[in-house]
């Protein structure tokens, strides 16, 4: 209510605070703090939207929520608590998804400015597009652990959220997950897939059985193995895994022996795989004498049970218990319904922890505690109150400057865990990064090059995995340029017959130009197709926003080698650091680094060289592709630039 007090603010700013209308997207860690700052300053007209409900693990930082609010709508409770702080303001709360078509461009145009307080890239991309379209200033922010950042997105003045390519979501080749895991995370991904196969929604990309189409095993795939045939997709033919499990009444012993003994024996028979790898050791149920185990996880306290590394016997015991509980849970569902894996469901989490560890033992991979497995399986980004408070403070200070139209003072600010070389801990960037003229979102005529294996990708995969998941369209229409052929229609059922066709069967081949359009986002994109063969560990597609990058692939490769050598010789860094190799970036001396949350803690990985790396493989020998699987549906943090030699980027959940 500062603006209600005479003399508190300079008059012109005061007037703007009292009369502006703001939209806050997200009522989580940043959203709660932003809302508090806004009502205390005296902003009179605020709307807030969030589709989420309150969880206990939110309460250590989302301070507008208390224990009695667990399970309730974040947006609604945030509104209630904030109104107590200042009853003289209007807050409208929506318990809803910002993707809902009710919130079109005209909805966004009602606001003076939009403040993002989101935790996922899909929604950030979407709001970015809506605000660009509506020509409304957007303040974007994020946190991860001790790090945070705030930036202004103003059409034509700054870069947009999608001007810089973000690090791709970490995926693993299907054959690594199914045949040759080598890291704990591979076993965790496999265990989550097993959960879905047994209790969840059937997904062809989440097969857990040995993959006989593995190019590395070619020639000997299961030749002398059991009398099991594989279908043309390489999966061992069986009734659906779920059906089979139901038929044997989810008996732990049968399930255990199937997945950890029979299937492993089958893998062993694919002998080419084990020429250079340690062969797995099949394990049978009860082999490890569960009963005589001295330690028993079920008797230890919650905290210890979470923190310790379980023994074989403990894993087997948890496996059996969780299966029986999950069977019980599933039996209460309606006929066609299924369980959805949730890191906060004890049995679902126990099941994944036990299965991941058993598979790790089989493949001689280090085991992890349930606590650590939860981080990886649930893609948890650590979050604390202080970083959220600081970041949200900068969001509202940026909002003041936007109200005063001082865009030139809205440099991005980075919140660091340790000071930089100039002793700064909250670091404003020196310049405003201008829009990337090659951005496939905010450029006048958005276009990009899509490298894709047109021999294996279907129209449905093109729509769901590329246009929707990667390019963030909501409901795309696609036609082949110049030919007038409609490949994908946003009208339900209109192009259903195309869905299972391969791209090449639709004449979408090398050199083909597509026009993709999303009516809701008011977004039109020209896509030039470049055919590429994907090999065993390779992605099936790659998006290139800047045409020039194709030409400079080799020089990027060179640069990458240099940079990596430099990094290797650096002995100490005050904070996380990373490398840059991107030539597509307009910012000066910027470094692209991304957090990757598939480790037990946040880990920084080098970005861009990876895309150069992928390019290297295009001409290499062709081989059957492996399905790539995603770790999680939840989001990877964004990649951003710091003026200093370190990192940052972020998300808060």
Partner 1 sequence: MVEQDYQELTAEEAELYDRQIRLWGLENQKKLRNSKILIAGINGLGAEIAKNIILAGVKSVTFLDSKSVSKLDFASQFFIPRTDENKLRAEASLPRAQALNPMVELTADTGNLHEKDEEFFKKFDVIVIIEGKMSEQIRIDNICRANNIKFFAADMWGLFGFSFSDLQEHEFAEDIIKHKVVSKPNEKVKTEPIKTTSKRSLNFPSLETAIAFDYNSPAFVKRMKKSGPAPLVMKILQTFREQENRDPLPENREEDIKKLLSIRDSLSNSEQVTDIYFEHVFGQISPSAAILGGSVAQEIIKTVSQKDAPHYNYFFFDPQTACGYIEAIGV
Taking the C-alpha atoms of residue 238 and residue 641, their distance in angstroms, rounded to an integer, is 49
State both tokens at 479.
Answer: 């036609």
> How would you list the strands of the sheet with 513-518, edge to edge?
485-488, 476-480, 513-518, 523-531, 447-452, 541-544
Quick check: 112 binds partner 1 (CB under 8 A)? no
Quick check: 1 binds partner 1 (CB under 8 A)? yes
543 is in an annotated binding site: no
From candidates 292, 422, 444, 445, binder to partner 1 by CB under 8 A: 422
The burial class, CB within 10 Å (0-12 / 13-18 / 19+), for 195 is: buried
Quick check: 309 binds partner 1 (CB under 8 A)? no
Q: Which residue, among 252, 507, 463, has the nearest Cα to 354 in the 3D structure?
A: 252
From candidates 98, 283, 361, 395, binder to partner 1 by CB under 8 A: 395
Residues 30-59 interacting with partner 1 (rule: CB under 8 A):
33, 36-37, 40-41, 56-57, 59
200 is in an annotated binding site: no
Taking the C-alpha atoms of residue 429 and residue 410, their distance in angstroms, rounded to an integer, is 9
From candidates 19, 109, 418, 548, binder to partner 1 by CB under 8 A: 418
Quick check: 383 binds partner 1 (CB under 8 A)? yes
218 is in an annotated binding site: no
Quick check: 393 binds partner 1 (CB under 8 A)? yes
From candidates 53, 426, 443, 524, binder to partner 1 by CB under 8 A: 426
**61/178 with CB nearer partner 1:** 61
SS3 of 581-608: the string is CCCCCCCCCCCCEEEECCCCCCEEEECC
From candidates 6, 227, 249, 336, binder to partner 1 by CB under 8 A: 6
**275/332 with CB nearer partner 1:** 275
Q: What is the CA radius of gyration of the chain?
A: 26
145 is in an annotated binding site: no
From candidates 71, 302, 484, 511, binder to partner 1 by CB under 8 A: 302
Quick check: 382 binds partner 1 (CB under 8 A)? yes
> How would you list the strands of the sheet with 21-25, edge to edge?
90-94, 45-49, 21-25, 113-116, 138-144, 147-153, 413-415
Query: Residue 230 carries which DSSP code?
Result: B
The burial class, CB within 10 Å (0-12 / 13-18 / 19+), for 565 is: exposed
CA angle, 601 then 606 then 612, to 5°:
145
Structural element, H or E, at residue 126: helix 121-134
From candidates 239, 333, 425, 431, binder to partner 1 by CB under 8 A: 425
Quick check: 274 binds partner 1 (CB under 8 A)? no
Nearest distance from C-beta of residue 159 to partner 1, angstroms = 18
Quick check: 396 binds partner 1 (CB under 8 A)? yes
The burial class, CB within 10 Å (0-12 / 13-18 / 19+), for 60 is: exposed
98 is in an annotated binding site: yes
Taking the C-alpha atoms of residue 640 and residue 462, their distance in angstroms, rounded to an integer, is 27
State both tokens at 561.
Answer: 């080698």
**146/523 with CB nearer partner 1:** 146
From candidates 176, 387, 495, 498, binder to partner 1 by CB under 8 A: 387
**43/520 with CB nearer partner 1:** 43
323 is in an annotated binding site: no
Nearest distance from C-beta of residue 194 to partner 1, angstroms = 25
Buried/exposed 88-109: b ≥16 CB within 10 Å, e otherwise: ebebebbbeebbeeebbbebbe
71 is in an annotated binding site: no
Nearest distance from C-beta of residue 295 to partner 1, angstroms = 16
Residues 129-148 interacting with partner 1 (rule: CB under 8 A):
145-146
Nearest distance from C-beta of residue 424 to partner 1, angstroms = 4
Residues 634-653 interacting with partner 1 (rule: CB under 8 A):
653
Query: Residue 380 carries which DSSP code?
Result: P
Contact residues for 281 (Cβ-Cβ < 8 A; gap 6+): 264, 361, 362, 364
Residues 471-500 interacting with partner 1 (rule: CB under 8 A):
none
Nearest distance from C-beta of residue 264 to partner 1, angstroms = 28
Contact 147, 414 (CB under 8 A): yes
222 is in an annotated binding site: no
> φ and ψ at 46, to 5 degrees?
-130, 140
**67/445 with CB nearer partner 1:** 67
Quick check: 413 binds partner 1 (CB under 8 A)? yes
**104/574 with CB nearer partner 1:** 574
From candidates 386, 507, 555, 589, binder to partner 1 by CB under 8 A: 386
- Residue ranges in 86-120 assigned as alpha helix (H): 105-108
Residue 334, CA distances (Å) to 195, 245, 331, 605 in order: 18, 18, 8, 44
Quick check: 244 binds partner 1 (CB under 8 A)? no
Relative to beta strand 447-452, strand 485-488 is unpaired
Residues 569-628 interacting with partner 1 (rule: CB under 8 A):
570-573, 576-577, 601, 603-604, 613
From candidates 71, 84, 444, 511, binder to partner 1 by CB under 8 A: 84
Q: Is 410 a catalytic residue?
A: no
Catalytic residue among 41, 131, 175, 512: 175
- As annotated, the active-site residues are 175
**Binding site residue list for ATP:** 26-31, 50, 58-61, 74, 97-98, 119-124
Q: Which residues are annotated as a binding site?
A: 26-31, 50, 58-61, 74, 97-98, 119-124, 160, 163, 439, 442
User: Which residues carry a binding-site annotation for Zn(2+)?
Assistant: 160, 163, 439, 442
């Amino acid at each position: 209510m500062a603006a209600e007090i005479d003399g508190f603010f300079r008059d012109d700013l005061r007037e703007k605070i009292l009369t502006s209308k703001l939209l806050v997207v997200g009522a989580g860690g940043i959203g709660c703090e932003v809302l508090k700052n806004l009502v205390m300053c005296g902003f009179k007209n605020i709307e807030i939207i969030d589709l989420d409900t309150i969880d206990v693990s939110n309460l250590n930082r989302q301070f507008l929520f208390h224990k009695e609010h667990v399970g309730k709508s974040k947006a609604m409770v945030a509104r209630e608590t904030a109104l107590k702080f200042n009853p003289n303001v209007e807050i409208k709360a929506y318990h809803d998804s910002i993707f809902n078509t009710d919130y079109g461009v005209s909805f966004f145009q009602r606001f003076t400015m939009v403040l993002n307080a989101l935790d996922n890239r899909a929604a950030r991309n979407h709001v970015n597009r809506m605000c660009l379209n509506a020509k409304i200033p957007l303040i974007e922010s994020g946190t991860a652990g001790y790090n945070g950042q705030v930036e202004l997105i103003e059409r034509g003045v700054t870069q947009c959220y999608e001007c810089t390519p973000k690090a791709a979501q970490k995926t693993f080749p299907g054959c690594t997950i199914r045949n040759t895991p080598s890291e704990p995370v591979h076993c965790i991904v496999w265990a989550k897939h097993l959960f879905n196969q047994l209790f969840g929604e059937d997904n062809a990309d989440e097969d857990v059985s040995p993959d006989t189409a593995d190019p590395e095993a070619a020639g000997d795939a299961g030749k002398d193995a059991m009398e099991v045939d594989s279908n043309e997709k390489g999966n061992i033919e069986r009734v659906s895994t779920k059906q089979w499990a139901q038929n044997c009444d989810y008996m732990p012993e049968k399930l255990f022996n199937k997945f950890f003994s029979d299937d492993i024996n089958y893998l062993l028979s694919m002998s080419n795989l084990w020429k250079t790898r340690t062969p797995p050791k099949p394990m049978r149920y009860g082999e490890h004498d569960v009963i005589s185990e001295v330690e028993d996880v079920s008797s230890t306290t919650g905290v210890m049970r979470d923190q310790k590394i379980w023994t074989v016997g403990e894993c087997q015991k948890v496996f059996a218990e969780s299966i029986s509980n999950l069977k019980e849970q599933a039996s209460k569902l309606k006929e066609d319904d299924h369980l959805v894996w949730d890191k906060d469901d004890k049995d679902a989490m126990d099941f994944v922890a036990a299965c991941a560890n058993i598979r790790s033992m089989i493949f001689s991979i280090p085991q992890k505690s349930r606590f650590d497995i939860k981080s990886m399986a649930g893609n948890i980004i650590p979050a604390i109150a202080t970083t959220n408070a600081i970041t949200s403070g900068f969001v509202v200070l940026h909002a003041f400057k936007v109200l005063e139209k001082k865009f030139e003072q809205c440099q991005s600010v980075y919140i660091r865990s340790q000071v930089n070389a100039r002793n700064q801990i909250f670091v404003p960037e020196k310049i405003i990064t201008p829009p990337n003229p090659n951005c496939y979102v905010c450029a006048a005529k958005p276009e990009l090059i899509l490298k894709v294996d047109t021999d294996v990708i279907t129209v449905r995969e093109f729509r769901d995995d590329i246009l929707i998941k990667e390019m963030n369209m909501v409901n795309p229409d696609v036609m082949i340029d110049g030919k007038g052929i409609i490949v994908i229609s946003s009208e339900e059922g209109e192009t259903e017959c195309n869905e299972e066709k391969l791209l090449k069967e639709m004449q979408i081949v090398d050199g083909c130009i597509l026009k993709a359009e999303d009516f809701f986002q008011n977004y039109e994109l020209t896509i030039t197709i470049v055919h590429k063969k994907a090999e065993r560990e390779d992605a099936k597609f790659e998006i290139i926003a800047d045409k020039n990058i194709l030409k400079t692939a080799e020089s990027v490769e060179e640069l990458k080698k240099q940079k990596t050598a430099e990094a290797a010789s650096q002995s100490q860094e005050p904070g996380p650091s990373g490398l840059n190799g991107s030539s597509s970036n307009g910012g000066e001396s910027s470094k692209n680094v991304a957090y990757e949350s598939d480790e037990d803690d946040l880990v920084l990985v080098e970005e861009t060289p990876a895309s150069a790396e992928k390019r290297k493989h295009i001409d290499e020998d062709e081989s059957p592709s492996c399905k790539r699987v995603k770790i999680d549906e939840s989001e990877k943090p964004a990649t951003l630039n710091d003026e200093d030699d370190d990192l940052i980027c972020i998300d808060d959940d």
